[in-house]
Structure 1
Amino acid sequence: MNLANKITLARIFLVPIMMFFLLVNVDYFPPIRIDEFYITYNQIIAALIFIIAASTDGLDGYIARKRKMVTNLGKLLDPLADKLLVAAVLISLVEMGKCDAWIAVVIISREFAVTGLRQVALLEGTVVAASTWGKWKTAIQITAIIAMLLNNFPFAFIGFPFDVVATWAAALITVYSGIDYFVKNKKVLRLS
């Protein structure tokens, strides 16, 4: 197993660890309170794990291309790791009451739909490349998730609901990028 695939596997293994810290209340340390702002240490740890895991997404692909280590296993694991990470954290945020369920369903549904499109394309011998909108979608989703994980820090201090704005932006761009993938690759659906 090459380095790029090991990094991808590490991202997959970080998912349950992140969820543990996110969903299990660890009472060893008192929460951090500043005026109306409140956050627990396990939320901070979960956010750090998420940031590390999300940052490996580009790293594994870069290493695979740079060192000519692109493998079929990597092509399978990389998108799977991305979907697991985003789906797990969104479902956890819904459980915690920090994300509306419909937003999580929209984002996760789009991920499954585009993955299905890619699978159909692969069966037809075509590759559906990542689009610019897909890359923007990923960046905005990660930003929104981090804002929700950190209870809107630091924007909570100025009363700006950045987490809500970023979440709505993520939902809208997620839908748009999904439509964009299907419109640009409609020939794949006609072939099958």
Structure 2
Amino acid sequence: MNIPNTITWARVLLTAVIVFLILKGFFLFAFALFLVAAISDYFDGYFARKLNQVTNFGKIFDQMSDKIFITSILIAFVELNLVPSWIVIVIVFRDTLVTTVRMAALVSNQVIAANYFGKLKTVSQMIWIVVLFLKSIGYNVYMVDDILAYVVVFFTIASGILYLGQNIRVLKG
């Protein structure tokens, strides 16, 4: 296993610890680990390119680890009534459609990399989670968390529509 994929695996494992800490009310520790895991998302890609260790598995697994990471944390916040469940449903719905298209492409030996709009979606979700953590540890974030929730929904839906449009050939079978 190469360095980038090891970093990605570590992010997946950290996700379980972060969710456990959130559900037990240890928000500050969970937040610190979230920041480490979020930064690792940059470094796995950086090292993959820098060390020439870009693999098809890494392209797919990095994207899936982001979905596991973000969705799991948001579900934990839903459990604590800090996030409306309908937003997580929108995220899961979009991610499931996109993953289905990626799997269909794999059957034809195609690997579809993330697009720029998808990266904006992920960044907006991570920024929203940072604000949710700040709120959970006592900071008054006013309405920033609510505004960011709608920004996340916008980027989630828009990136899904764009992704499906860019990969219509896969959908046609």
TM-score bracket for this pair, using the shorter chain length: over 0.9
SS in 1 for 2:123: helix
Residues 135-176 of structure 1 deviation map (CA, whole Å, 9 limit, x = unaligned):
1111111001111122178972xx631011011110111001
Q: Matches of 1:154 and 1:22 in 2, distance apart?
A: 14
Residues 5-52 of structure 1 deviation map (CA, whole Å, 9 limit, x = unaligned):
110111011011101110014xxxxxxxxxxxxxxxx11111121121
Number of the residue aligned with 2:53: 69
Query: What is the CA distance between 1:99 and its match in structure 2?
Result: 0.3
User: Aligned in 2, Cα 1:76/1:136: closer, same or farther, shift over 3 Å?
Assistant: closer
Q: TM-score, normalised by structure 1?
A: 0.83
Q: Matches of 1:125 and 1:3 in 2, distance apart?
A: 25
Number of the residue aligned with 1:179: 161
Q: TM-score, normalised by structure 2?
A: 0.92
Q: Matches of 2:58 and 2:88 in 1, distance apart?
A: 26
Q: Matches of 1:124 and 1:181 in 2, distance apart?
A: 18
Q: Matches of 1:91 and 1:134 in 2, distance apart?
A: 20
Q: Matches of 2:120 and 2:68 in 1, distance apart?
A: 19
User: Aligned in 2, Cα 1:152/1:161: closer, same or farther, shift over 3 Å?
Assistant: farther
- Residue 60 of structure 1 aligns with an amino acid whose one-letter code is D
> Any gaps of 5 or more consecutive residues in structure 1?
26-41
> Any gaps of 5 or more consecutive residues in structure 2?
none
SS in 1 for 2:83: coil
Q: Matches of 2:124 and 2:67 in 1, distance apart?
A: 15
SS in 1 for 2:135: coil
Number of the residue aligned with 1:137: 121
Q: Matches of 1:141 and 1:124 in 2, distance apart?
A: 31
Number of the residue aligned with 2:9: 9
Q: Matches of 1:178 and 1:166 in 2, distance apart?
A: 18
Q: 1:80 aligns with which of 64, 88, 92?
A: 64
Task: Summarize the alignment of residues 1-192 of structure 1 with structure 2, pairs less than 5 Å apart.
Answer: 1-25=1-25, 42-151=26-135, 156=140, 160-190=142-172, 192=173
Q: Matches of 2:102 and 2:47 in 1, distance apart?
A: 22
SS in 1 for 2:142: coil
Residues 107-135 of structure 1 deviation map (CA, whole Å, 9 limit, x = unaligned):
12211211111111121232323222111
Q: Matches of 1:74 and 1:181 in 2, distance apart?
A: 20
- Alpha-carbon RMSD across the aligned residues, in angstroms, is 1.8
Kept after mapping to 1: 8 A contact 2:19/2:76: yes
- Residue 101 of structure 1 aligns with an amino acid whose one-letter code is S
Aligned pairs, how many?
173
- Residue 94 of structure 1 aligns with an amino acid whose one-letter code is V
Q: Matches of 2:71 and 2:133 in 1, distance apart?
A: 14
Q: Give identity over the alignment, percent.
A: 36
Q: Matches of 1:152 and 1:43 in 2, distance apart?
A: 7
- Residue 38 of structure 2 aligns with an amino acid whose one-letter code is A
Q: Matches of 1:152 and 1:23 in 2, distance apart?
A: 11
